[in-house]
Chains A and B, each alone.
Chain A
Amino acid sequence: MYAFEYHRPTSLDEAVSLMVNAEDGALLAGGQTLIPTLKQRLAQPSDVIDLAAVPGLTGITQDGNELIVGAMTTHAEVAASDLVRATIPALAELAGQVGDAQVRNRGTLGGSIANNDPAADYPAALVALGAVIKTNRRTVAADDFFTGMFETVLDTEEVVVSVRFPKPQRAAYCKFPNPASRYAIVGVFVARNGPTVRVAVTGAGQSVFRLPELEARLAARFSPDALANVMVAADGLNDDLHASADYRAHLITVMAKRAVAAASGSPAD
């Protein structure tokens, strides 16, 4: 990697001020994307600001009908959390499928969503569950947060603090992993809350997206059969060595059906 200044701030304000003053700063959360990128010399930040010592960014708490997960909480912690398993089991399941054991032990929720890799798992959960992202400055709905490939609404000096997940009545995530990287070729998160069903897809497009047609059908009847003849259009979907756009379009329906089937088996209210 190229040389950079390393900082380990002990408060959120200090972290933000370091970012403001850096020529080209980079925030380090779990480092599961940033560190490999640095090692391959694909990034050359002037300053790396490590969030590990900033208090208040980790932990999982319940607030009424919502779960609050700190931005620096690792995937492994979410996957193993009794609170998450009891409240939103689909979220724990998703966290347990991210990368491999090493990645899950280091990678964090905040790092994942701030990076917004088009094949990351978490964005599907946030969008389908209607989560709200809290930063050092504001709160943003998940629907508005992810804006494009590796793009979010975050400003350079903005730090994700936590994510608030409303508890759904039923939810499930179904992922078709890339055989090489285990990133999602297609991942579909389905969540039902009363009359509302949200279906969010990751891996298939430039960024996570919802499928209103599937949501409408599932709102009418929350069953895999409701998706029996649905054909998702391949236009605009990712098309690469690992999967054509057609294949991804097909997998969206298959994974959505499987997610609905799995969600139907999850405990109701």
Chain B
Amino acid sequence: MATVNGIGAAVTRREDQRFLTGRGTYTDDINRPGQAYAVFVRSPHAHARVAAIDTAAAEAAPGVIAVLTGRELAADGIGGLPCGWQVHSKDGTPMIEPAHPPLALDTVHHVGDQVAVVIAETREAARDAAELVEVDWDELPAVVDATAALAEDAATVHEAAPGNICFDWHLGDAVAVDAAFAQAAHVTRLELVNTRLVPNAIEPRAAIGEYDVATGEHTLYTSSQNPHVIRLLMGAFVLKIPEHKLRVVAPDVGGGFGSKIFHYAEEAVVTWAARRIGRPVKWTADRSESFLTDAHGRDHVTEAALALDADGRFLGLKVSTVANMGAYLSTFAPSIPTYLYATLLAGQYRTPAIYAEVKAVFTNTAPVDAYRGAGRPEACYVVERLVETAARELGIDRAEIRRRNFIPASEMPYATPVALEYDCGDFAANLDRALPQADYDGFAARAAESARRGRLRGIGFATYIEACGIAPSNVAGALGARAGLYESAEVRFHPTGSVSVFTGSHSHGQGHETTFAQIVADRFGLALDQIDIVHGDTARVPFGMGTYGSRSLAVGGSALVKAMDKVEAKAKKIAAHMLEAAESDIEVKAGQFTVVGTDKSLGIAEIAGSAYVPHRFPLDELEPGLDEQAFYDPKNFTYPNGCHVCEVEIDPDTGVVTLVAFTVADDFGRVINPLVVEGQVHGGLVQGIGQALLEHCHYDPTTGQLLTGAYTDYAMPRASDVPSFRVDWHEDVPCTHNPLGVKGCGEAGTIGAAAAVMNAVIDALASRGIRHLDMPATPHRVWQALRDAAVRPAA
């Protein structure tokens, strides 16, 4: 039943009131009695042996409580940071997992790697003392570029990883691909760099550790996307604290984009130090620390080739990628360039043979892990850049070549040659919606008008598909996940009929408090102010796997539906008893329980009252209370998909690329709140556009220093950099295997946007003989490409 607050309603976000009026509670807003402050001593070198650490001067400094190093950690039996996903190489050997102590013991492996922590009465005192910690560094050669790390004479990042290789993995059928290439009428080849990015959540990471000597209970407040996973990883592997003595709270979190999925050293150190010094210990990253130590994203170098027949039909795809893992394996790092990347190389197309190989490489840089889209933008970029290049080489219209190769809706479910089974999707329908909105037919006239003004105009497409709703636990386990990927929910009706909903998924900007409440309001006919959505605290929420991979609604929302099913089933039995009717005669509609064909009816609030004051209650049959919990393990991934069309204009005198239009036609399945979805798409698009035009994390190749460690050098997209987006979606193809029919929308914008922008840029430059340009298409790069093309002799 559609209601003003139910599924499909454009409800403004309830949480925004506190966020927009400065009343959110972020980790740094929390202050515990007796709290001390931690500042980390970090490596100024990309690679160095720690010959000695002299802490005497720091310990003697005013206000200093303790100075701790890896030696104290080791003495207390503290373990290394674990990796949550194990990938095996082609030859069956497991990936190399170098030790990752929370405070480096004898060697540092990237600039910003922490070697000591100073704990003091104030943050400034800790900072002052941190400068007094004397570290005797023996500098070692460093390597930052993944392909350079593969060179024979490259510096060795970890002795445990010969040749700097973490794993050498593959997926697909190499023989079938070779056969496809042998019979191809045309082969399109590209070498692509997928730029390293810094996630840049507006709230930097922060953590407070606390220990209650009376109860033996530890508490960690942390800016995290998944508190239960942090509890599991830190408790079981690092600090060896059993779950019942460890509470993890992730309060309001100001953005994550993946970078706050992972378990970081600072979380373990403050929790450990709090017990050691007997006081709460707080750490908040400054922006420089965020740049240096948040897990980065992307950083692939890829050779890709697409084989086509004479009609432009795809025969085979061959992809070889070198993926930079950084200095250590972050929590989910190995899964990103493998099972979240190569599995998406079919895209929306019926390419019959696909083979991908991925070499994951250690370098002296910050660890690389999931960043919004996580592997899927990289896959989309490879496929969509190849498709447009092939279309241009073969003289086939770029919309037409896609139509010729789309997997038709009639062939769903469709098993790809790279291990996924798409349950549904109508890709041609997305294109049909996008083209008129983008006025594709009018493009030639617009390009001619631009040319009269001396400008180069281009239009580019990206059709994307992503595997979201991560993930069926048994499938993920078979692929190397060291955790389950279900979600939990608890729906607790209170005696007077209001509801607390506990979800294991986590909101750090996604709007759960609104959308999850809408689902409950819809089901039980409640007002939103009767419903609280509780998340982010292991002491309140039964269990959870957190939020990433656009999974909150598809997995967490499904768990919520299951819990509501249980509540409704019990309420129905209670209603039958109270109404003196057979359970089979009770009809349920939006929280109203009615005896069929009568006016005898009870609302859910009355039933809840009876459940807690069980005077008219079937006590011989049911327990009192109305509080149900459910776990949901997805049957398959969900497959959001869509079509992006980007139009750009380039000033050849300066190389400036201006986005003049951006059109999106998406399929997210059923939409709970169109306002939230549109906001998610806008944010996603801007992050994809940021990668395409502005952002570039750059390390000095010799010294390993981060050269783009501040906003003066790392260009983030601003509102003025993007046009007003045309965002459209349809709900005609709901997900077939979850109860809400939802697919997820959190990453979609980012996944398609970078490819669409770059395809448009290259379209604009094609008339000047430019076939390829790597991201970001900065003015300097575009101008340089135009200049190089102008002096290049015609082929």
**Chain A residues near B (Cβ < 8 Å):** 2, 40-41, 176, 178-181, 183, 241-244, 247, 250-251, 254
Q: Do B780 and A247 have beta carbons less than 8 Å apart?
A: yes
Contact in complex: A242, B780 (CB < 8 Å) = yes
In the assembled complex, 15 residue pairs joining A and B whose CB atoms fall closer than 8 Å, in A order, are A2-B128, A178-B715, A179-B694, A180-B694, A180-B708, A180-B715, A180-B716, A181-B712, A181-B713, A241-B707, A242-B778, A247-B780, A247-B784, A251-B654, A254-B654
CB distance from B661 to the nearest CB of A (A): 20
For chain B residues 672-709, which have a beta carbon within 8 Å of chain A? 694, 698, 707-708
Known: A179-B778, A241-B708. A247 touches B783 (CB 8 A): yes
Q: Do the beta carbons of A243 and B780 come within 8 Å of each other?
A: yes
Q: A40-B288, A247-B780 are in contact. Are A254 and B715 (CB under 8 A)?
A: no
**Residue in B713, B778, B780, B784 whose Cβ sees the most chain A Cβ within 10 Å:** B780
Contact of B711 with A by CB under 8 A: yes
> In the bound complex, how far is the Cα of B40 from the Cα of A108, in angstroms?
36
Evaluate contact between A180 and B711: CB separation under 8 angstroms: yes
Taking a contact as CB atoms under 8 Å apart, the answer to whether A180 and B654 are in contact is no
Q: Is B653 part of the contact surface with A, judged by Cβ < 8 Å?
A: yes
Taking a contact as CB atoms closer than 8 A, the residue among A179, A180, A241 that contacts B779 in the complex is: A179
B725 within 8 A of A: no
Q: Which residues of the partner chain A approach B414 to less than 8 Å between Cβ atoms? A: none
Asked whether, in the complex, the Cβ of B713 is within 8 Å of the Cβ of A241, the reply is: yes
Chain A's interface: helix, strand, loop or mixed, by majority?
Answer: loop
Give chain B's interface secondary structure class: loop
Establish whether residues B713 and A179, one from each chain, have CB atoms under 8 Å apart when the complex forms.
Answer: no
Query: Measured between alpha carbons, how far is A100 from B698 in the docked complex, in Å?
Result: 25
- The reply to whether B784 and A241 form a contact with Cβ atoms under 8 Å apart is no
List 17 other contacts, CB 8 Å, given A180-B712, A181-B712, A247-B784.
Answer: A2-B128, A41-B131, A178-B715, A179-B694, A179-B778, A180-B708, A180-B713, A180-B715, A180-B716, A181-B711, A241-B707, A242-B713, A242-B780, A243-B780, A244-B780, A244-B784, A247-B780
Are B783's CB and A179's CB within 8 A?
A: no
**Distance A41 CA – B123 CA, assembled complex (angstroms):** 14
8 smallest A-B Cβ distances: which pairs?
A180-B715, A181-B712, A179-B715, A254-B653, A247-B780, A243-B780, A180-B713, A179-B694
- CB neighbours of B237 from chain A (8 A): none
Interfacial chain B residues near A2, Cβ < 8 Å:
128
With a CB–CB cut-off of 8 A, which chain A residues contact B783?
Answer: 247, 250
A247 / chain B contacts, CB cutoff of 8 Å = 780, 783-784
- CB-nearest residue of chain A relative to B698? A241
Residues in A whose Cβ lies below 8 Å from that of B128:
2
Q: Mark B775-795, 1 if CB is under 8 A from A, else 0.
A: 000111001100000000000
Asked if B714 is at the interface of the complex by the 8 Å CB criterion, the answer is: yes
Contact residues in A for B654 (Cβ distance below 8 Å): 176, 251, 254
Interface centre among A178, A183, A251 (most CB of B within 10 A): A251
Residues of A within 8 A of B715 (CB): 178-180
With CB as the reference atom, state the residue of chain B lying closest to A183: B712
Cβ of A40: which chain B residues have Cβ within 8 Å of it? 288
Which of A40, A176, A179, A183 has most B Cβ within 10 Å? Answer: A179
Residues of B within 8 Å of A183, CB to CB, are 712
Which residues from chain A contact B288 at a C-beta distance below 8 Å?
A: 40
* B127 surroundings in chain A (CB, below 8 A): 41
* Closest Cβ–Cβ distance, residue B654 to chain A (whole Å): 6
Name B residues whose Cβ lies closer than 8 Å to a Cβ of A.
127-128, 131, 288, 653-654, 694, 698, 707-708, 711-716, 778-780, 783-784
In the assembled complex, the Cα of A41 lies from the Cα of B707 at a distance in Å of: 18
Q: In the bound complex, how far is the Cα of B779 from the Cα of A244, in angstroms?
A: 11
Q: Chain A nearest CB: distance from B344 CB in Å?
A: 30
- In the complex, residue of chain A having the shortest beta-carbon distance to the beta carbon of B654: A254
A251 to B714, CA, bound (A): 21
The residue in A180, A183, A243 that gathers the most chain B C-beta atoms within 10 A of its C-beta is A180
Q: From B776, which residue of chain A is reached at the shortest CB distance?
A: A179
**For B694, what are the chain A residues with a Cβ–Cβ distance below 8 Å?**
179-180
State the Cβ distance, A123 to closest chain B Cβ, in Å. 18
- Distance (whole angstroms) from the CB of B441 to the closest CB of chain A: 33
In the complex, chain B residues whose CB is within 8 Å of the CB of A179: 694, 715, 778-779
Instruction: Report the separation of the CA atoms of residues A74 and B654 in the bound assembly, to the nearest whole angstrom.
Output: 30
Closest chain B CB from A2 CB (angstroms)? 8
Smallest CB–CB gap between A57 and chain B, Å? 28
**Which residues of the partner chain A approach B698 to less than 8 Å between Cβ atoms?**
241
Give Cα distance in the complex from A180 to B778, angstroms: 11
Contact B714 A180 (CB under 8 A): yes
Closest Cβ of chain A to B129, distance in Å, is: 13
List, in ascending order, chain A residues with CB within 8 A of B713's CB: 180-181, 241-242
* In the complex, chain A residues whose CB is within 8 Å of the CB of B707: 241
Cα of A257 to Cα of B721 in the assembled complex, Å: 24
Chain A residues contacting B778 (CB-CB under 8 Å) are 179, 242
In the complex, residue of chain A having the shortest beta-carbon distance to the beta carbon of B653 = A254
* A250 proximity list for chain B (CB < 8 A): 783
List the A side residues contacting B711 at CB < 8 Å: 180-181
A241 to B708, CA, bound (A): 9
Cβ distance B40 to chain A, nearest Cβ, rounded Å: 15
Bound form: Cα–Cα A241–B713 in Å:
8
Nearest CB of A to B774, in Å: 15
State how many angstroms separate the Cβ of A225 from the closest Cβ of chain B: 15
Min CB gap B608→A, angstroms: 51
CA distance in complex: A179, B714 (Å): 9
Once bound together, how far apart are the Cα atoms of A41 and B130, in whole Å? Answer: 13
Please, which residues of chain B bring their CB within 8 A of the CB of A176? 654, 779
CB neighbours (8 Å) of B784 from chain A are 244, 247
In angstroms, how far is the closest chain A Cβ from the Cβ of B656? 8
Tell me the complex Cα distance, A89–B212, Å: 66
Complex CA gap A241/B781 in Å reads: 11
Q: How far is the CA of A162 from the CA of B653 in the complex (A)?
A: 38
Separation in Å of the B291 CB from the closest CB of chain A? 12
Hey, which chain A residues are within 8 Å of B780, CB to CB? 242-244, 247
Nearest CB to that of A40 among chain B residues?
A: B288
Residues of B within 8 A of A178 (CB): 712, 715
Contacts of B712 in A (CB 8 A): 178, 180-181, 183
**Which of B127, B128, B712, B714 has the most CB atoms of chain A within a 10 A radius of its CB?**
B712
Q: How far is the CB of B683 from chain A (nearest CB, A)?
A: 20
Residues in A neighbouring B714, C-beta threshold 8 A = 180
- On chain B, the residues within 8 Å of A242 by CB distance are 713, 778, 780
**Cα separation A178 to B783 with both chains bound (whole Å):** 15
Chain B residues with Cβ below 8 Å from A181 are 711-713
**Chain B residues, CB < 8 A from A180:** 694, 708, 711-716
- Shortest Cβ distance from residue B149 to the other chain A in the assembled complex, whole angstroms: 21
Q: Select from chain A the residue with minimum beta-carbon distance to B783.
A: A247
Residue on A nearest B712 in the bound complex, by CB: A181
Q: Please, how many angstroms separate the alpha-carbon atoms of A180 and B695 in the complex?
A: 9
Inter-chain CA distance A40–B713, complex, in Å, is 16
* Chain B residues within an 8 Å CB radius of A244: 780, 784
Q: Nearest CB to that of B715 among chain A residues?
A: A180
- CA gap between A72 and B713 in the complex, in Å: 28
Determine the distance from Cα of A251 to Cα of B779 in the docked complex, in whole angstroms. Answer: 11
A183 to B779, CA, bound (A): 15
Nearest Cβ on chain B to A264's Cβ, whole angstroms: 18
Taking the closest CB of chain B, its distance from the CB of A42, in whole angstroms, is 11
Bound state CA distance, A15 and B710, in angstroms? 33
CA distance A181 to B708 in the complex (A): 11
| Residues of chain B with a CB closer than 8 A to A254's CB | 653-654
Query: For the complex, what is the distance from the CA of A195 to the CA of B592, rounded to whole Å?
Result: 88
In the complex, how many angstroms separate the beta carbon of A14 from the nearest chain B beta carbon?
A: 29
Chain A hits for B716, CB < 8 A: 180
Expressed in whole angstroms, the Cα–Cα distance for A183 and B712 within the complex equals 9
Instruction: For residue B760, give the distance in angstroms from its CB to the closest CB of chain A.
Output: 18
- Closest Cβ of chain A to B166, distance in Å, is 28
User: In the assembled complex, how far is the CB of residue A3 from the closest CB belonging to chain B, in whole angstroms?
Assistant: 8
Q: Complex formed: what's the CA distance from A118 to B708 in Å?
A: 19
In the bound complex, what is the Cα–Cα distance between A210 and B653 (angstroms)?
A: 22
Nearest-CB distance from B408 to chain A (Å)? 42
In whole angstroms, how far apart are the Cα atoms of A254 and B783 in the complex? 12
**Cα distance, A179 to B655, chains bound together (Å):** 12
